Structure 1
C-alpha cells in the first residue's frame, strides 16, 4: 500500500544511506525529505533515480518557525491527497557544536533546538495525520550513557538540569569550549530518549516510537560545526575505527537505520535499538520525573508553533 515517510537528515551520512535502502526495499514508499535551503531539490532528484518516488520540503531545523512552516506544508499535502497516508517519521538530523553558547532565532541553544525541539514539533504537528501502523524513529546516541564503554572518553556524559536551563545557552560548565558543546550534545540525546518514552505512553495505539543508536560512526557530517582539527580527525583518522567493534561503518549504520524504520528490526514502542537489536538505554534514561518535566517544558516552548 502506498504510504509516506517523512525524513530529516537524509542528505548525508547514515541518513543518505538509509534513504536509499528505504526506497529500494519499500517500493510503495513516498519518501519526503526535509532539507535545508536549496539542497532539497538535488537530493530528491538523486534519490528518484531508479524510479523511486521522492519529494522534499525546505526547512531550517534551527528555527521553530521554519519547522512549523514545513510541517504545515506536509499536513496540507496529506489533507489534499497529494501524498499517500503518513506511516513514518524519521528524525535523523542532528548537530554538535564546538560550544554550548550558540543561540538560534527563538532564543534557545541550537543543539537543543535541532536535536530535541525540532523533532518534537514535527511529531506534534503531524501526530493526527499518522495512519496506523506507523513508526516514529528518532536517532539517539550511546553518548547518553556517559561512560568509557560507550564513548571511549571522547564525549562527556550528559549533565542533566532543569529543562528550562538545558534549553538555553550556557547551561554547562565551560560553555564556550568544545567540552561544553559535546556535553550539550550528549545531554540532548538523553532528552531525545526521554521523549521517545513519552511518545510511547501518549501516542495512540499503532503509532510506535523508537530510539535508534547507530553507535560511533566516523566520517559523518555530525562534526561539520567543529574546528579544523576535529573535522580532519573524523574524516581521515577515526574512520579506521570502523574496522573495530567500537565503531560502526557509515553504510552499516545507514542500513541498520532503514531496518528500524521499515520494521525489519523488531522493536516495540518505546524501545532503544542499539544498531541491530532492541536493548535497554541507560538507567538514567528511565526517570519518570525527568521525562514528565521535559515533556511539560518542550510543550510550553513549542506551543506557539504547534497550532
Structure 2
C-alpha cells in the first residue's frame, strides 16, 4: 500500500464518489488511490475519452460516463445520468486544462472558462438536490495559477479581452476558488485545492510558453507525478468537513491554507460571477 493511500481518512462508511477528468492524470490517480485504500466506496468516473475512461474504470471496478465539457449539452446529459444514482457523497470537479484562444464555444463562452468553471458549475447546479440530500462534499481542483497568471475581471471572467492561455487558465482557477466560496455560501460543503506542479499533460492542448516549458525533458524530471495530486484529491473527497478541511476554503498541495489573490476571497465577487452565470444557464441556487 502506498504512503499516499495510508494517509487517507479511514472511516468505513461506504460512499459514492464521482470524479471528473478521470481518464488520466490527477483524476485517474485519485481513483486508483481510493480503490486501494477505500474499497468499500463506489467510484463513478467521468472523462472525455471513452477508451481511456473505460480502461481506468475497469482497473478500479468503477462505473463510468463520457462527456466533453466543450458542449454544455453533454454536461446536461451527464447530470441526468448521474442523477440516477441513489446518492452522491462526493463530487470531484477535476476536469480542466489550459487551451489556446480566445476560442468561443457553441455555447458562447470562452473555451478555457467553460471547461474549467462553467461546466462544473452547471453540473453541480443540476445535481444540487442529490448532493444536498447526501450532505455531499464538492471538491474543485484549483491551482496556484490563480496567483501566478490571473488578472481577474468580474466583468470579463471569460478573458475574451487581453487573452493569453496563461491568463485565461489563471482566471479560471481563480474562478474555481470563487465557486467554492459560492457553493459554501449556499450551504453545500465545498473545498478547493492546488494539486502541485505536476507532470500531467494539463497543457497539452496549448502552445503557450508555459505548456512548452512543462513538456521539455528537463522540466518533466523536476515536475511531480500525478500520484501526488491524486493523493490530495482523494484526501478531500474522502475527508470530513471540520476535521480534515474547512468548507469554503482553498488549500495548497501541503493541505495548508493556499496562496490566493485577494479578489478570490471576496464572496461578493463570487456571488456576482455565479449569480450572473446561473441566469445565463437558467439554473438557480
Shorter-chain TM range is 0.7 to 0.9
**What's the CA shift for 1:37?**
4.6
Moved more, 283-292 or 62-71: 283-292
Q: How does 1:1-307 map to 2 (within 5 A)?
A: 1-39=13-51, 40-48=53-61, 54-75=62-83, 77-78=84-85, 81=86, 85-99=87-101, 101-130=102-131, 131-146=133-148, 157-163=149-155, 165-167=156-158, 171-173=160-162, 175=163, 180-203=164-187, 207-217=188-198, 219-227=199-207, 233-235=213-215, 236-242=217-223, 248-263=224-239, 266-282=244-260, 283-303=262-282
Q: Taking structure 1 as the reference length, what is the TM-score of the superposition? A: 0.80
| Cα distance in 1 for residues equivalent to 2:136 and 2:208 | 41
**What's the CA shift for 1:183?**
0.4
**What's the CA shift for 1:6?**
1.1
Change in 2 beyond 3 A, CA 1:231/1:296: closer
| Cα distance in 1 for residues equivalent to 2:258 and 2:281 | 29
Please, what is the CA RMSD of the aligned residues?
2.3
**What's the CA shift for 1:142?**
0.6
**What's the CA shift for 1:124?**
0.8
Alpha-carbon contact 2:21-2:96 (below 8 Å) kept: yes
SS, match of residue 221 in structure 2: helix
Change in 2 beyond 3 A, CA 1:200/1:294: same
SS, match of residue 129 in structure 2: helix
| Cα distance in 2 for residues equivalent to 1:184 and 1:290 | 17
> Which structure: greater strand fraction?
1
| Cα distance in 2 for residues equivalent to 1:284 and 1:215 | 22
| Cα distance in 1 for residues equivalent to 2:233 and 2:108 | 32
| Cα distance in 1 for residues equivalent to 2:209 and 2:122 | 34
Q: Which runs of 5+ in 1 are unaligned?
A: 49-53, 147-156, 243-247
Alpha-carbon contact 1:117-1:302 (below 8 Å) kept: no
Alpha-carbon contact 2:21-2:48 (below 8 Å) kept: no
Could you list the per-position Cα deviations for residues 174-213 of structure 1 after superposition, in whole angstroms to 9, with x for gaps in the alignment? x3xxxx111000001111111100111102xxx4100011
| Cα distance in 2 for residues equivalent to 1:4 and 1:302 | 27
**What's the CA shift for 1:230?**
6.2
SS, match of residue 76 in structure 2: helix
**What's the CA shift for 1:126?**
1.0
**What's the CA shift for 1:12?**
1.1
**What's the CA shift for 1:268?**
1.1
Alpha-carbon contact 2:194-2:258 (below 8 Å) kept: no
